[in-house]
Chain A
Amino acid sequence: MKLRKLFPKLLLVLVAFCVLLFLLSPIIAVVGGSFNDGGYFAFPPKSVSLRQYRAALTNKEHLESLAASLKVATYSTVVASLLCVPACVALAKTSNPIVNKVKTLFMAPIFLPGIVWAVGLLQCMGFLRIQGSLAILICVHTVIVTPYMIRIVGASMDNFNYTLEDAAASLGAPPLTTFFRITLPNIMSGIVVGMVFSFMISFSDVVITLFVSSSSFTTFPVRVYAAMRTEGLDPMVLAYSAIIIVVVLSISILGEKFAHWSKHFSTML
């Protein structure tokens, strides 16, 4: 009797575990494979060493593209938050129905296929004879991350109690002071989560950057992608990826613990 009750539960746990294993298998393979001592991919590793890490940390080209990626992600995140926070305030307070249509536009990069947009961008740049540069990539990545920023910051604006602004005004605070001392501190966690998200989204983008970047300026995922497409998998790249995974994992643990950010993820999907 007890077994009959327990069996479906055990089956569920088993199936769930298998799916989770499948979902995480590439990550496990990348992290595990990064410790392999040899010029090829092997997971489980044949013999363990830090050879890939040593090679990775001395490869100038990869480090340069990694630096470019970090730059693009940082700048686009900062620009996006500077543009999106005021936009979210305006969206939250507007009584103008046309303005709400603009919100749909800001969300569009999530829903419209990136490759279609990328081809359009490529042709615009070709038409104007512009090469992909840091500035162009920052602008494009700002557009990529805007929907995430708008959703997350917008959600924390929705949760904000606007009576607090009235209270501040009744206590003598002018509108701008009210925004910086009352509104901003209360939506700050949303902004931070949005920024971290934006950074990751920008950092890992391949498709659009592939079309926009030039041979003289490209990001890390695009360089890795290009190499993998033509030459196969260079095990040195695994070391970088493993580091990225560890960083992402620690940030997600902190994010989940302090900001429940899977909730933000769910609102986005």
Chain B
Amino acid sequence: MFRAKYNKMDAMLIPLALLFFIFFVIPFIMLLYNSFLTYTGKVEPGLPITVQNYIKFFKDSYYPAVIGRTFYISIVTTLMVTVLAYPLAYFMAGIKGYLKTIMLVLVTLPLISGVMVQNMGMYGMMTNYGTINLFLMALHIIEEPVQLLGNNIAVIIGLTQGFLPFMILPVMNALQAIPENVLQASESLGANKVRQFLHITLPMSFGGCIAGAVLVFGASLSSYTTPTILGRGKCQVIGTVVYQQAMQLFNWPFASSIAMLLLLLILLIVPITKILSRRRREGGVL
């Protein structure tokens, strides 16, 4: 009787599972199928089934360059985010009360006010007569406005700003999870502050860094809006190429195959980080 009751409970998952099947699972199946179809010149792709789309991607020197650029941007972004987020997270882990509440609200604010607002502000500041150029000219570092938008650096800066909270929160949590008495123990054993930081705090917050880095790296690889807005069409990454092929050239099979490759890349990150963090736990050097 009780087992039957639980099975009845499981049925409450059906509506949501159905919604996911139709609007989430089927699109991925469609994507996989279409990536093997042939571009017909019309919107509807057609037969025969072919692997040409994948071959095209690697044959043409343009697309590997896009992958290279995407990786370059993602790696630099991840490193920048880590370096910038750590001190702020360290500061936040050490405070309490109202100050902490305010800091938490401010740090999560960019995350919940949306990527559009972030891009808009960044774009505005980086235009020829935007905040940054005016500031630099006022200091007489430059005399003429400098072209800031439309290159990899602008995109990296935009992504770094947008993804900072992804790193700050997990690192802060990891730092807070270090028990006070571990630090006291290390102090009683004669470790000075610097050694304590290098040998206790840093290794014990490593998990948080990895968690944050996975999020940031994955999100950077598949980023689309920021490269479009801040790259001004001059910074093609995987995301923008997918959009171009799907929405502007209507070459759906090719767009699908690029999307599949991106998906594959993202799915590869997870096991790699698992190996990394396991080695760390077992005391191996990175």
A–B in direct contact per CB < 8 Å: yes
B28 close to chain A: CB less than 8 A: yes
B115 touches A120 (CB 8 A): no
A86 close to chain B: CB less than 8 A: yes
Known: A41-B130, A83-B19, A269-B215. A229 touches B228 (CB 8 A): yes
Closest to B211 in A: A269
| Chain A residues within 8 Å of chain B by Cβ, number | 92
A132 close to chain B: CB less than 8 A: no
For the A-B complex, the count of residue pairs with Cβ-Cβ distances under 8 Å equals 286
Known: A16-B91, A115-B259, A237-B120. A26 touches B110 (CB 8 A): yes
Q: Which of A123, A248, A266 makes the CB contact (< 8 A) with B113? A: A248
Docked complex Cα distance between A206 and B211 (Å): 25
Among listed B6-14, B55-63, B178-186, B272-280, interface-contacting one: B6-14
Please provide the chain A residues from 128 to 148 with a CB less than 8 Å away from any CB of chain B in the complex.
Answer: 139-140, 142-143, 146
Closest to B33 in A: A123
B119 touches A115 (CB 8 A): no
B117 touches A249 (CB 8 A): no
A19 touches B84 (CB 8 A): yes
A127 close to chain B: CB less than 8 A: yes
Q: Which of A106, A115, A143 has the most CB of B within 10 A?
A: A115
Known: A253-B105, A262-B104. A43 touches B124 (CB 8 A): yes
| Chain B residues within 8 Å of chain A by Cβ, number | 93
Please provide the chain B residues from 250 to 285 with a CB less than 8 Å away from any CB of chain A in the complex.
Answer: 252, 255-256, 259-260, 262-263, 266, 270
B228 touches A94 (CB 8 A): no
Among listed A27-35, A166-174, A183-191, interface-contacting one: A27-35
Apart from the given pairs A87-B13, A228-B120, 16 other A-B contacts in the complex at a CB distance below 8 Å: A26-B118, A41-B127, A83-B15, A87-B12, A90-B13, A96-B7, A113-B263, A116-B259, A117-B28, A146-B16, A204-B115, A244-B117, A252-B105, A252-B109, A257-B101, A269-B215
Which are the 6 A-B pairs with shortest beta-carbon distances?
Answer: A26-B121, A204-B114, A120-B27, A113-B222, A16-B91, A120-B31
Residues of chain B having any CB pair with chain A under 8 Å: 6-7, 9-13, 15-17, 19-20, 22-31, 34, 43-44, 84-85, 87-88, 90-92, 101, 103-125, 127, 129-131, 161, 164-166, 169-170, 172-173, 193, 211-212, 215, 218, 221-222, 224-225, 228-229, 239, 242-243, 246-247, 252, 255-256, 259-260, 262-263, 266, 270
